[in-house]
């Protein structure tokens, strides 16, 4: 394959060999910053329409990245002659389509109407008929047996902890469904508005069709009025330390259905071949996708361009590839992965791990890059995923060699579940983020509280200008990490993973 110098397409002049070292470094940094900005300007432009999977915005994104990576000198990394460069990922989007609930007390219909209850399923259609209600209180710190829950609808008090953990645990332990009583701040309307958004999954995933239902406290009180267990009494019992589940004098039939839409999208996978691929591989990744047009219908600017999240990360990924390609050939293969559907649930990363181009246990280290243009030059590096892999000691050695400061606490792990690295960790791939973006974590928190996932994450409306000084140093650090972990003498295959 003919290699075309990627720098020439951006009109960057070669460095003068005779220039002083400091001047060369300064000029090289400016040129790297210019290339990063140029990538971000293209990928976060309105012409790419928010880089939504399955759209023309995706096609433009992948054409741009594929051309850049080819010109750098990368080769296809799919290891699949039928799908070179672009690995297909099929998604299914499900949105609520139907909901019904019927309650019986001693065989008689109750005054509660279907409009008083919201029923949802993770599958295409789910149904429970005439199942008894079992009141489980707050279901926090209480052990239930499968026999207690099997064939029953668990009735749960929402309280001030409106997460899904307790509901999921009850379903996993055998409950036919979970009916959550909204006795806290959440209203039925708020739950309905939140859950009307589509849920996404890989098409190969078999969703179990779990049933969840929600009811207001007032409706639940009316349902249990004149029964042996009024809601007031149940709430008092749930607060007692010796609380035990209570079978109610009510049965329910719950049904929910969803509409399905299939989305065809792609991961982009490339590699730099190593001299000794049998020694394993290093992986760099960043997600290319964003939300498309996600602003309010009446807003002047509806496109969520995702300049920081994650045009900046894909820009850094591309420049790490450029720097590694220009150097001496490494011993290990180095893979570069631009994932789809990160914003929809880390689905592209899961798809890569479930259908990988190489055995997963051959990946000695993976480095994710996400929302990178946050911190200024000189910001210390943080590790998102610190303490969760065997990589930390070697990362510290590289930071010392490169004269970069590395934060020695786990504060950045607050965000570990919010990025593709978490998906790879679930598949036992040692994955971290090594970045200045979390080096001053207040800057990242301000981004999450401000422009994150909004139309203002573009080059025009950002609350704060792009901070490419830290991103330049991220590229340098990641390049050094790539060379370190690609060396079997420094990181033997059997030690890592």
CA end-to-end span of the chain? 33
Report d(CA 191, CA 182) in Å as an integer.
9
Q: How many degrees, rounded to 5, is the angle at CA 305 between CA 300 and CA 308?
A: 130
Tokens of 388: 């969760």
The separation between CA 444 and the C-alpha centre of its own chain, rounded to angstroms, equals: 16
Is the CB of residue 447 less than 8 Å from the CB of residue 308? yes
Residue 334 belongs to domain spanning: 6-73+273-485
Using the Cα atoms of residue 311, residue 467, residue 419 and residue 73 in order, give the sign of their dihedral. positive
Give pLDDT < 70 ranges for the chain. 1-24, 114, 141-142, 162-163, 196-197, 205-209, 295-298, 495-497
Any domain includes 495: no
Any domain includes 298: yes
Give the containing element (helix H, strand E) for 395.
helix 392-401
Any domain includes 88: no
Residues 149 and 250 in one domain: yes
Choose the final residue of a domain: 217, 238, 260. Answer: 260
Give the containing element (helix H, strand E) for 392.
helix 392-401
Give the containing element (helix H, strand E) for 399.
helix 392-401
* 9 closest CA partner among 44, 39, 43: 39
Q: Is 28 exposed, middle or buried (0-12, 13-18, 19+ CB in 10 A)?
A: middle
Residues 62 and 101 in one domain: no
Stated length of the chain: 497
How many independent structural domains does the chain possess?
2
Report d(CA 272, CA 283) in Å as an integer.
10
Choose the final residue of a domain: 208, 226, 260. Answer: 260
Choose the final residue of a domain: 229, 260, 291. Answer: 260
Residues 357 and 238 in one domain: no
Angular region, 188: left φ>0, alpha ψ -120 to 50, beta rest: alpha
Report d(CA 121, CA 95) in Å as an integer.
9
Is the CB of residue 416 less than 8 Å from the CB of residue 359? no
Using the Cα atoms of residue 352, residue 356, residue 360 and residue 364 in order, give the sign of their dihedral. negative
Helix (H, G, I), strand (E, B) or coil at 121: strand
Helix (H, G, I), strand (E, B) or coil at 248: strand
Helix (H, G, I), strand (E, B) or coil at 178: strand
Residues 283 and 358 in one domain: yes
Encode 282-294: b = buried (16+ Cβ within 10 Å), e = exposed. Answer: bbbbbbbbbbbbb
In CATH, what number is assigned to the domain containing residue 357? 3.40.630.10
Report d(CA 102, CA 248) in Å as an integer.
15
Any domain includes 80: no
Is the CB of residue 145 less than 8 Å from the CB of residue 169? no
Residues 234 and 336 in one domain: no
Residues 98 and 142 in one domain: yes
Is the CB of residue 362 less than 8 Å from the CB of residue 493? yes
- Strand 153-157 with 75-76, pairing: unpaired
Encode 243-267: b = buried (16+ Cβ within 10 Å), e = exposed. Answer: bebbebebbbbbbbbbeeeebebbb
Report d(CA 480, CA 473) in Å as an integer.
11
Is the CB of residue 265 less than 8 Å from the CB of residue 338? no
Is the CB of residue 359 less than 8 Å from the CB of residue 276? no
Query: Which DSSP letter does residue 307 get?
Result: I
Any domain includes 287: yes
pLDDT in tens, 174-225: 999 999 999 998 889 888 877 766 778 888 765 556 899 999 999 999 999 9
Any domain includes 166: yes
In CATH, what number is assigned to the domain containing residue 105? 3.50.30.30
* 475 closest CA partner among 418, 424, 436, 432: 436
Residues 156 and 197 in one domain: yes
Report d(CA 454, CA 444) in Å as an integer.
15
Residues 57 and 103 in one domain: no
Residues 345 and 199 in one domain: no
Any domain includes 83: no
Is the CB of residue 407 less than 8 Å from the CB of residue 382? yes
Residues 249 and 277 in one domain: no
pLDDT at 106: 77
Residues 153 and 256 in one domain: yes
Any domain includes 193: yes
State the SS3 of 408-448: CCCHHHHHHHHCHHHHHHHCCCCEEEEECCCCCHHHHHHHH
Tokens of 434: 């090594």
Residues 179 and 134 in one domain: yes
Helix (H, G, I), strand (E, B) or coil at 403: coil
Q: Is 161 exposed, middle or buried (0-12, 13-18, 19+ CB in 10 A)?
A: exposed
pLDDT at 6: 35
* 382 closest CA partner among 313, 472, 477: 477
* 488 closest CA partner among 272, 332, 273, 362: 332
pLDDT at 366: 98
pLDDT at 10: 30
pLDDT at 17: 36
């Amino acid at each position: 394959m003919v290699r075309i110098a990627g720098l020439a397409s951006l009109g960057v002049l070669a460095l003068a060999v005779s220039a002083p070292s400091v001047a060369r470094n300064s000029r090289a940094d400016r040129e790297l910053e210019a290339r990063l900005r140029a990538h971000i300007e293209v990928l976060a432009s309105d012409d790419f329409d928010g880089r939504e999977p399955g759209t023309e915005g995706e096609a433009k994104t992948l054409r741009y990245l594929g051309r850049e990576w080819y010109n750098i000198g990368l080769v296809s990394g799919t290891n699949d002659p039928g799908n070179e460069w672009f690995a297909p990922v099929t998604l299914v989007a499900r949105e609520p389509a139907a909901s019904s609930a019927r309650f019986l007390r001693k065989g008689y219909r109750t005054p509660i109407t279907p409009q008083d209850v919201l029923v949802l399923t993770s599958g295409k259609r789910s149904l429970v008929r005439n199942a008894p209600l079992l009141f489980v209180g707050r279901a926090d710190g209480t052990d239930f047996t499968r026999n207690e829950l099997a064939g029953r609808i668990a009735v749960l008090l929402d309280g001030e902890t409106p997460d899904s953990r307790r509901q999921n645990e009850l379903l996993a332990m055998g409950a036919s469904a979970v009916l959550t009583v909204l006795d806290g701040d959440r209203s039925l309307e708020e739950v309905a508005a939140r859950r009307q958004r589509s849920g996404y999954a890989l098409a190969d995933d078999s969703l179990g069709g779990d049933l969840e239902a929600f009811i207001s406290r007032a409706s639940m009180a009316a349902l249990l009025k004149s029964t042996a267990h009024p809601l007031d009494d149940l709430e008092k019992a749930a607060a007692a330390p010796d609380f035990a589940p209570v079978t109610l004098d009510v049965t329910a039939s719950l049904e929910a259905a969803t509409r399905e839409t299939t989305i065809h999208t792609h991961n982009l996978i490339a590699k730099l071949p190593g001299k000794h691929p049998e020694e394993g591989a290093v992986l760099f990744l960043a997600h290319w996708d964003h939300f498309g047009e996600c602003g309010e219908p009446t807003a002047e600017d509806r496109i969520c361009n995702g300049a920081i999240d994650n045009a900046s990360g894909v820009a850094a990924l591309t420049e790490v590839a450029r720097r590694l390609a220009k150097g001496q050939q490494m011993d290990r293969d180095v893979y570069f992965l631009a994932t789809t559907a990160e914003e929809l649930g880390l689905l592209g990363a899961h798809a890569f791990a479930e259908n990988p181009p190489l055995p997963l246990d051959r990946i000695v280290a993976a480095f994710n890059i996400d929302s990178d243009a946050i911190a200024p030059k000189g910001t210390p590096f943080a590790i998102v995923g610190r303490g969760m892999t065997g990589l930390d000691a070697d990362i510290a050695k590289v930071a010392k060699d490169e004269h970069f400061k590395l934060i020695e606490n786990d504060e950045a792990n607050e965000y570990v579940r919010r990025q593709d690295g978490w998906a790879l960790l679930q598949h036992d791939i040692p994955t971290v983020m090594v970045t200045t973006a979390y080096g001053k974590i207040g800057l990242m928190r301000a981004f999450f509280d401000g422009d994150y996932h909004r139309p203002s994450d573009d080059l025009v409306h950002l609350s704060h200008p792009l901070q490419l000084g830290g991103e330049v140093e991220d590229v340098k650090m990641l390049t050094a990490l790539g060379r370190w972990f690609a060396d079997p003498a420094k990181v033997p295959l059997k030690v890592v993973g």
